């Protein structure tokens, strides 16, 4: 079951990577790279930080999935628009999945709670951050919080860790964190909730 979910998440990540190329004069290769970075970037950073083998270097099906999805999307989006609402829900699903997989992997490697939560958030969010940096934009997730994106990941990872701490079965910790992230993200979109914006008094640090 888990591999099927993971591949679904990777495909969704690849599609959002392809869509980030809009209006950027990016060619087919660039689109594939953006898809790979978005789909695999979060898990890659997590594995480097945990110091375990990077997941896609052990199983080439992830690379092949993301590349194939990117090429198909590249041509498909020339023909017709993708329905925005389907994409948003699929993306929320992928966010929830990656976050909980990352958190569980952190727990599996015996990291302490705060670090496991961080690994979860990184797995869920870092792919999109890298994608935005590559196309030269301030990462979307930093700005106006796009309706509780990272916050949903944080809360879900936290619930996942808390449930694991009270020693429920792994499946419940997984499901709890997953549902929390998914629902919070969908609620955020539905009711346009966001975090407070940074509005400091002026101070000039540089140079």
Cβ closest to a second copy, residue 65 vs residue 173 = 65
For 135, residues 6+ apart whose C-beta sits below 8 A from its C-beta are 20, 21, 24, 26, 34
Is 203 a binder of a second copy (CB under 8 A)?
Answer: yes
Tell which one of 88, 175, 187, 193 touches a second copy (CB under 8 A).
Answer: 88
Tell which one of 154, 164, 181, 182 touches a second copy (CB under 8 A).
Answer: 154
Stretch that binds a second copy, among 14-22, 92-100, 167-175, 176-184 (CB under 8 A): 14-22
Considering the complex, what minimum distance in angstroms separates the CB of residue 123 from a second copy?
A: 14
Q: State how far the Cα of 147 lies from the Cα of 88, in Å rounded to an integer.
A: 11
Considering the complex, what minimum distance in angstroms separates the CB of residue 90 from a second copy?
A: 11
Place of tokens 């958190």: 103
Considering the complex, what minimum distance in angstroms separates the CB of residue 174 from a second copy?
A: 22
Place of tokens 């992830």: 62
Nearest CA to 89 out of 185, 178, 174 is that of 185
Cβ closest to a second copy, residue 115 vs residue 175 = 115
Sites for a second copy among residues 97-136 (CB under 8 A): 111-115, 118, 129, 133-136
Q: Which helix (H) or strand (E) holds 71?
A: helix 61-79
Tell which one of 5, 71, 72, 82 touches a second copy (CB under 8 A).
Answer: 82
Tell which one of 1, 4, 166, 205 touches a second copy (CB under 8 A).
Answer: 205
Tell which one of 151, 158, 160, 177 touches a second copy (CB under 8 A).
Answer: 151
Phi and psi at 32, nearest 5°, equal -65, -45
Q: Please, what is the Cα angle at 87 between 83 and 89, to 5 degrees?
A: 120
Place of tokens 């041509």: 75
């Amino acid at each position: 079951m888990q591999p099927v979910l993971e591949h679904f998440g990777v495909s969704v990540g690849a599609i959002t990577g392809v869509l980030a190329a809009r209006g950027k004069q990016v060619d087919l290769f660039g689109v594939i790279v953006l898809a790979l970075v978005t789909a695999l970037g979060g898990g890659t950073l997590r594995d480097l930080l945990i110091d375990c083998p990077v997941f896609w270097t052990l199983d080439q099906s992830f690379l092949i999935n993301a590349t194939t999805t990117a090429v198909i999307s590249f041509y498909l989006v020339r023909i017709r628009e993708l329905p925005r609402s389907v994409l948003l829900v699929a993306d929320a699903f992928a966010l929830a999945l990656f976050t909980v997989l990352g958190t569980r992997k952190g727990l599996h490697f015996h990291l302490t709670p705060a670090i496991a939560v961080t690994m979860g958030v990184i797995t869920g969010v870092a792919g999109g951050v890298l994608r935005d940096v590559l196309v030269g934009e301030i990462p979307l997730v930093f700005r106006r919080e796009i309706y509780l994106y990272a916050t949903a990941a944080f809360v879900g990872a936290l619930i996942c860790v808390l449930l694991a701490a009270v020693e429920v079965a792994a499946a419940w910790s997984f499901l709890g964190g997953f549902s929390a992230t998914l629902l919070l993200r969908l609620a955020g979109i539905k009711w346009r909730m966001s975090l407070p914006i940074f509005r400091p008094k002026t101070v000039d640090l540089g140079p």
